[in-house]
Structure 1
Amino acid sequence: MKKELISLKKIIILAGALCAYWIGAGFATGQEVLQFFTTSGANGIIAAVIFLALMSGLTYILYGIGQKKKFGNPYDVFEYYCGKVIGQVYIWYTVVLVYAIFVVMLAGAGATINQYYGIPTYVGTGVIALLSLGTVVLGVEKLIEIIGVIGPIKIIFVAIVGVSGIATLINQPNLLSEASNLIPTLGFQTASSNWAWSGILYAFLALMVSIPFQVDCGASAKSLKEARTAGLIGTIAFTVAIISLVIAELVYYKLIVGQQVPTLAIANHISPVLGLIFSVLIVLSIYSAVASFLLVTVRKFAVDKTKKFNTIAIILTAIGMIFGGILPFDKLVNILYPLAGYSAIIFTCFIIYKELRVKNRKFDNEVEVDIN
């Protein structure tokens, strides 16, 4: 039996790419984690474990199927699991969802950079748009390599904030229970009133926007074992980042009241240098997410590194820059996001059904061979 190839460097890059894809501006600022996890108090940590349990299995399957099937177009995975008709519905729904989020992030990029550095909004938007476009036209493999390096850097600095929170917690062990009791009363927005459902919902939202990207990452691996290992490590590392931020936000809950960017407030409290690094990290998070979402959208229409691909990428970037601040894409995303959670649950049922059928068919064939 041929031994499967494993490259530690490749595993780290593919795992890091998944982390960089998921760690967008919402996560890097701390708002995403705050609303989905921290507002549940200490139960937010358990919700993160629920996220880990769900996403570990799903990334294992998606990275694996991407490597095994090597679809010409990553969106073909929807037809593979759901059939032609339902698969097409999922394909176009995902394209609209991902592009809507791309436009929202691009529109917000300029405002975010203006807030941190005083650079004119249109300049910030233009810089992020051009950097993202330049990365995307280099192709899938190059984008994975670039954001695969950025991902682990993000995890490390988020973990530093978490370690600082743990150190504070060791000296003041009552802080956790104090924060858990008070944080629901401080007026923070929350994704759900139920902590378990928050973890489940976050998992399925993360799934729905990342399916084609995970399939592309899996196809980039040199072996099935390498693909599945990368998917698992990426999910575990991302969960560590979630738990680190939950602990930090609970420990420093007094600092983040009324703050739009909790991580920056916490980082500045720990060290002004760390605060500066986090402001850069947020910009990197915007760039890597915008580039990834653009690539995933364009991959529906063309193979990367072709003239058609580059043309579509340029057109979609231009549309995002022009109409991002005009069209009500925030309302569109508000409609699409809840639907994304439920549609991802249904898609997961299709995945489980298909995987069980394949396993049963394989088992029946093995039994038939043994009998013969």
Structure 2
Amino acid sequence: MKKVISILMLCGACISFYIGAGFATMQEVVQYEASYGSLFWVVILVVACIYAYTNISFATNGNRLGLKRGGDIYKIYCSVLGKKFGEYASKFFDVFSALFCYMSFVVMCGGANAIASQQWNFFNGLGAVVLTVAVICTVVFGLEGILNVLSKIGPVIIVMILIVSLLTAITGVGNISANMQLIDAGTYSDVMKQVGNGNPFLSGASYGGFVILWFAAFLAEIGTKNKLEDVNIGIILSSIFIFGTAVVCCMALIGHIESVAGADIPALVLANQISPILAQAFAVIICAGIYTSAVPLLWTGVRSIAKEGKTKYKITTILAGIFGCMIACFVPYKGLINVLYGLNGYLGFLLVLFMIIYDIKTKMSKKIDSAD
């Protein structure tokens, strides 16, 4: 029973981390997946493969090597470039990923701001401020406290997203085929941003790339501090729930593409079609999804320069949270997702190549050692 609970907690934590502002609002799903119409499944398949492989690799190598800090995982993979170039590359990825995770935290603040303005007509900045205060209060407790919080909220969020998507997919099922043809023809290209410049494989690589940079340090450290088998099973289960839900989300969005193509928060448009009351409740769920991603993202950025439990760690958390909140109040939410996720995702995918080379080399060396 203890093993099952551990696996479910780790699965829930992975789901919580993945479902941030972009996925919970479905803006991310629109730009990366639904915008490809009949080829949306190609993007999802590419991302799912990247997600499962890279996260298992992070956790496995973090556990095997007993890394003291999750960010040290970059030294392991970049070692394939040789000692000199590997050292430079690992430092770059360590700094870049920490900065990227921090900027992704800013995106979460922007998402909270957009929801508060669109759904409740709150003044600009209130949603970002409330989220920032909640995130700061959680991050100061460190990794164990974060894991406990995320493991409980994630499953609730994914179920609610699945319910709204399933219901609206059913109501829009008659329009899916025709709407796919319209999307493929570029009918909504003027109002619907698309990552990948028309190539679903590039979109999947970009999407998987930014997910890699989110999870690298986080899962490497979790892999070190938990039973590896439990972590890896949790990762596989989370991938089934996440990408199964993504398929349903795409069907719902495509079925109602005329309403969601230009919306800041497509998920609320879908929820409002079911019931205004449900939309109010779902807005809260989206905020919870944003919070569960914002917490580990801010932690990753702060953890790269400060050790947990120290005064520097707490001060850095507070200052970084406030600064990110200020940025989110003045930069449009949709622009943040398209530019930040798209450009940085391709660089993150480069890390996959180093990971594959490293994992193949270490497995080969193990076989050679055992043969000797």
> Matches of 1:225 and 1:9 in 2, distance apart?
13
> Matches of 2:171 and 2:114 in 1, distance apart?
33
**C-alpha displacement of 1:24:** 1.4
> Of 42, 47, 52, which residue of structure 2 is paired with 1:46?
42
> Matches of 1:42 and 1:327 in 2, distance apart?
32
Do the aligned partners of 2:20 and 2:290 also contact (CA within 8 Å) in 1? yes
Do the aligned partners of 1:14 and 1:230 also contact (CA within 8 Å) in 2? yes
**C-alpha displacement of 1:127:** 1.8
Please give the per-residue CA displacement for 1:241-289, whole angstroms capped at 9, x wherever unaligned.
Answer: 2112101111222332432221111111122332122111121122222
Do the aligned partners of 2:112 and 2:131 also contact (CA within 8 Å) in 1? yes
> TM-score, normalized by length of structure 2?
0.88
> Matches of 2:65 and 2:370 in 1, distance apart?
21
Please name the residue that 1:80 is paired with. 76
Paired positions, count: 360
Change over 3 Å in CA distance of 1:48–1:350 after alignment to 2: same
Q: Give the match's secondary structure for 2:70.
A: coil
Amino acid aligned to 1:212: A
Q: Give yes or no for the alignment of 1:157 onto 2:163.
A: no
Change over 3 Å in CA distance of 1:338–1:107 after alignment to 2: closer
Q: Give yes or no for the alignment of 1:229 onto 2:233.
A: yes
> Of 46, 50, 66, which residue of structure 2 is paired with 1:70?
66
Do the aligned partners of 2:212 and 2:349 also contact (CA within 8 Å) in 1? no
- The alignment-based identity, stated in percent, is 25
Please name the residue that 1:210 is paired with. 215
**C-alpha displacement of 1:327:** 8.2
> Matches of 1:323 and 1:81 in 2, distance apart?
33
Q: Give the match's secondary structure for 1:242.
A: helix
> Of 254, 274, 280, which residue of structure 2 is paired with 1:276?
280
Q: Which runs of 5+ in 1 are unaligned?
A: none
> Matches of 1:337 and 1:118 in 2, distance apart?
27
Amino acid aligned to 1:270: I
> Matches of 1:261 and 1:324 in 2, distance apart?
16
Please name the residue that 2:83 is paired with. none
Change over 3 Å in CA distance of 1:45–1:109 after alignment to 2: same
Q: Which runs of 5+ in 2 are unaligned?
A: 80-86
> Matches of 1:161 and 1:331 in 2, distance apart?
25
> Of 354, 357, 365, which residue of structure 1 is paired with 2:369?
365
**C-alpha displacement of 1:163:** 2.3
> Of 174, 186, 189, which residue of structure 1 is paired with 2:188?
186
Please name the residue that 2:252 is paired with. 248
> Matches of 2:231 and 2:364 in 1, distance apart?
23
Please name the residue that 2:56 is paired with. 60
> TM-score, normalized by length of structure 1?
0.88
Amino acid aligned to 2:45: V
> Matches of 2:110 and 2:176 in 1, distance apart?
37
> Matches of 2:19 and 2:310 in 1, distance apart?
28
Q: Give the match's secondary structure for 1:190.
A: coil
Please give the per-residue CA displacement for 1:123-165, whole angstroms capped at 9, x wherever unaligned.
Answer: 4332211110110011101111212222111211121123224
RMSD: 2.5
**C-alpha displacement of 1:87:** 0.5
State which drifts further: 42-51 or 244-253: 42-51
Please give the per-residue CA displacement for 1:293-344, whole angstroms capped at 9, x wherever unaligned.
Answer: 1111111122323322212212212322345446899989876544423322
Q: Give the match's secondary structure for 2:263.
A: coil
Please name the residue that 1:10 is paired with. 6
Q: Give the match's secondary structure for 2:307.
A: coil
Change over 3 Å in CA distance of 1:326–1:138 after alignment to 2: same
Q: Give the match's secondary structure for 1:186.
A: coil
Do the aligned partners of 1:31 and 1:262 also contact (CA within 8 Å) in 2? yes
